[in-house]
Structure 1
């Protein structure tokens, strides 16, 4: 079940793909981690999918990652008269804190944190930015605004406030209930929506601990202002380009994507690029050329993973979408300019011994044209340090920890194998050579490079390199 590519594929499970048969087809087509979107469906549905994935994992004999994506706080207008209001540029409207079935003078907006945060001159974006209004007046329970970009708004459409820091936790009551449920199931990753500041991660860590990896979804401009601290406190990052693209100019999103990927590589944290990557494949068996180029750009940038959303959750061609993404990744990684572009985008070196050893491991593997790099890793850190260099040789990550093995299904280049702890150099050598052969990475007389922490069983202490002839 070896994947002949380095970057990973994340696919969202939905009505189109929640059966055991479809999950198996998606995995065989190339999915490495499945995303359970808790903005939709009920807990019982997600529990059935989780159980089906774990059954599939046993059948195929490969670790499969499961990502729980929490809904987060959703800011929406309430219900309006007739279910729809047509707003015209230049007219004056009012939002009110209380009420229902309002008209243009009393559009319900039951979010007191907005009334506490906005000031005249700020913009509110409704329905993913299709309608834009500018605040002109503010009272205790009323916001007066001028319509800048007109259009229709209907019941419960979303509201974005670009550039405004809201006093909101990323964990609502629903999220806390869903999180407890997901941790009980045993999800591998938890994605936090609406992350604005480092303290949001501290709050989540207090609940999650080390039971799952914490993934910050970068979808608010406020997060970009504290991004180094947010990345440091996260276990992984998702570039959520949909919501981020509503709140910052569209033309700024590609540059921000590159910055985030580079920052995550520097911090040795996996990074996913998400949203509308092959969006036309929701209803078409083939993507546009621009979409194929978009996926390719993320791979050239060095992203650990790319993600499918509606394409695999509700689309008509989910397996084809995964297959297309797999082919694009393999084509890019096989291109003659790929490694030079990846090397050119390398973010620099961390001045610590473990990072230096991991970098030397990758460089040595390149110099001797090693068939594989074998990384012994308890927490996944050693494998991540090697992956940061984006070596040509595949990374065979050997770990005695099942949770680590599953989380590594999100890491660039890592093929994780659950194995026993080793106690000596001799056992380390024999074990590495054995798995390199049985997993299809090496043949007799091939060279492999092994890295580990000595003494064994010491987490995060990458300090040893060994060259082995199989």
Structure 2
């Protein structure tokens, strides 16, 4: 039996989690959304995983979200004559260039002319996840002469990060374009874009997706942090991707940046995922470290919509245990009185529309009385995300005639999704909401709910009505011709 919590869990699928039994077990342990990482695996393997998720969804009778995560451009150095690599010493000079000859202790190819076009003296180059740090002294259109500030072993095709400049690279490579079309045709609900530096990157992905998937921007570059407000406005959601971000920025800057990104996304009523190394030790251990548990808890206290497992569920030895641990931590935090105080203190939203006022009133009514749930009818999902932005103390039930909307809302905080038939009267909506509340087990006929919707129905962006209704609404009104 799944434990229902407000924060959602995203589990990455991979070699350790590719068959029906394991994916079903991950769902039952608490996974709400499954991530298909396009950096690994063939299209055939990802299509098989997608089909299994949809089979699990059909068997459990609950919408399940799927996130397709694009690889983005990968910047890597060339190869060395010595396959074991070379040892770079602090203070020595080292050259990166476009020459495809094998590297040695003095130079190596960097097959990305776009990098050289953007470099300036004093720019940093970080190699192998920042383990080697070099600073540019002189540079041209095809080379960069550097001084090694932190040495180490450099070997074949190690990753290179350039944190100090905006690179003239698009977020979508040719591989990404093919992968994007593939996953959109497959039917993913969310599309995560890597290497986003500017809002135009997100807009390019949105144009190619053509509405088939919601677009989520991964914030993993300093340039993306600097342009965050514009990127957020162009996106349907955000991922705080702390891997590359932690390489390119001083690690002590990550906590305040994470808080700011979460706060911004929540204010915009857009789901935000916190990702990378959340339970890293559980790749090989059945138990997490205390620091990892605290890291997961911190993201929950900050009000994130979702927390994500990467290698822990994709390639680790304990994928189900990792999801279970994450769920248990979430339940413990969300039952802590301090959590409610923190969430309430962070509820600073600029309300400018009728919909903003309706959802704020729904939360206040629910928290002031014995209301069991806030039920919202939504076509696009916007009403549900506005309710979730309020972080109410009661469950949110999103009712929609569109299965695509229900699946996308699996990423939204506190939201339980139900696919219903079309309704054309508010009274029908109330009857459906009461029925859903009873069937989910959140209320009995003696309880009350708050129902929000937009009239006219089936029109996006018209949230304008609210009613407190009994859960036995079917007995009172279902036969009423009005």
- TM-score relative to the length of structure 2: 0.96
Structure 2 counterpart SS, 1:166: coil
Q: Deviations over 1:352-374 (max 9, x none)?
A: 21111111111111111310110
* Contact 1:75/1:159 (<8 A) preserved: yes
Q: Does structure 2 conserve the Cα–Cα contact (< 8 Å) formed by 1:281 and 1:315? A: yes
Q: Is the contact made by 2:63 and 2:407 (CA closer than 8 Å) also made in structure 1?
A: yes
Q: For residue 327 of structure 1, what is the aligned residue in structure 2?
A: 328
Paired residue for 1:381? 382
Q: 1:127 and 2:143 equivalent?
A: no
Q: How does 1:354-433 map to 2 (within 5 A)?
A: 354-433=355-434
**2:128 and 2:154 in contact (8 A); partners too:** yes
Say whether residues 1:270 and 2:268 are aligned partners: no
Q: How much has 1:202 moved relative to structure 2?
A: 1.4
* Rounded Cα–Cα distance in structure 2 between residues aligned with 1:142 and 1:435: 64
Counterpart of 1:437 in structure 2 is 438
Aligned equivalents of 2:344, 2:216: Cα separation in 1: 26
- 2:67 corresponds to 1:67: yes
**Contact 1:368-1:447 within 8 A present in 2 as well:** no
Q: Provide the rounded CA distance (Å) in 1 between the counterparts of 2:208 and 2:98.
A: 32
Give the Cα–Cα distance (whole angstroms) in 1 for the partners of residues 302 and 124 of structure 2: 33
- Structure 1 counterpart of 2:28: 28
The offset of 1:4, in angstroms, is 2.0
Contact 1:2 1:440 in 2 (8 A): no
Is the CA contact 2:2–2:29 (under 8 Å) kept in the aligned structure 1? Answer: no
Q: Is the 8 A contact 1:213 1:235 kept in 2?
A: yes
Which range moves more in the overlay, 103-112 or 233-242?
103-112
The whole-number CA distance in structure 1 between the counterparts of 2:120 and 2:442 is 60
Query: Match for residue 478 of structure 2?
Result: none
Range with greater deviation from structure 2 (420-429 or 58-67): 420-429
Report the aligned-residue RMSD. 1.0
Number of paired residues? Answer: 470
Q: 1:369-399: per-residue Cα shift (whole Å, max 9, x none)?
A: 3101101011100000000000011001000
Contact 2:57 2:63 in 1 (8 A): yes
Contact 1:5/1:329 (<8 A) preserved: yes
Task: Say which SS state the counterpart of residue 337 (structure 2) adopts.
Answer: coil
* CA positional deviation for 1:100: 3.4
TM-aligned CA deviation for residue 296 of structure 1? 0.4
Measure, in 1, the Cα distance between the counterparts of 2:259 and 2:162: 24
State the partner residue of 2:477: none
8 A contact 2:271–2:413 mirrored in 1? yes
Q: Are 2:196 and 1:195 aligned?
A: yes
User: What is the CA deviation profile of residues 6-27 of structure 1, one whole-angstrom value per residue up to 9, with x for unaligned ones?
Assistant: 0000000010111111101100
Q: Distance in 2 between matches of 1:119 and 1:440?
A: 62
Pair 1:142 & 2:163 matched: no
Contact 1:396/1:417 (8 A) holds in 2: yes
Deviation at 1:328, TM superposition (A): 0.2
Offset, 1:2: 6.1
Mapping of residues 240-255 of structure 1, within 5 Å: 240-255=241-256
Structure 1: gaps of 5 or more residues:
none
CA contact 1:115–1:143 (8 Å) conserved in 2? yes
Long gaps (5+) in structure 2: 472-482
Q: Deviations over 1:99-119 (max 9, x none)?
A: 132113330100000110011
How far apart in 2 are the matches of 1:163 and 1:348? Answer: 33
Distance 1:2 1:140, change over 3 A: closer
Note the C-alpha offset of 1:423: 1.4
Distance in 2 between residues matched to 1:333 and 1:184, nearest whole Å: 37
Q: CA offsets, 1:263-321, max 9 Å, x none? A: 00110100000000001101100101110010000000000000000100111000000
Task: Give me the whole-angstrom Cα distance separating, in 2, the residues matched to 1:451 and 1:404.
Answer: 17
SS in 2 for 1:463: strand
CA distance in 1, matches of 2:20, 2:149: 48
Show the counterpart of 2:158.
157
| Secondary structure of the corresponding residue to residue 77 of structure 1 | coil
Q: Does 1:14 align with 2:14?
A: yes
In 2: Cα distance, 1:378 partner to 1:50 partner: 24
Taking the aligned partners of 2:427 and 2:37, their CA distance within structure 1 comes to 45
Question: TM-score by structure 1 length?
Answer: 0.99
**Alpha-carbon distance in structure 2 between the residues aligned to 1:164 and 1:134:** 13
Partner of 2:480: none
Superposition map of 1:280-359 within 5 A: 280-359=281-360
**How many angstroms apart in 1 are the aligned matches of 2:393 and 2:275?**
25
Q: State the Cα deviation string for residues 34-59 of structure 1 (Å, max 9, x = none).
A: 00101011111101100111111101
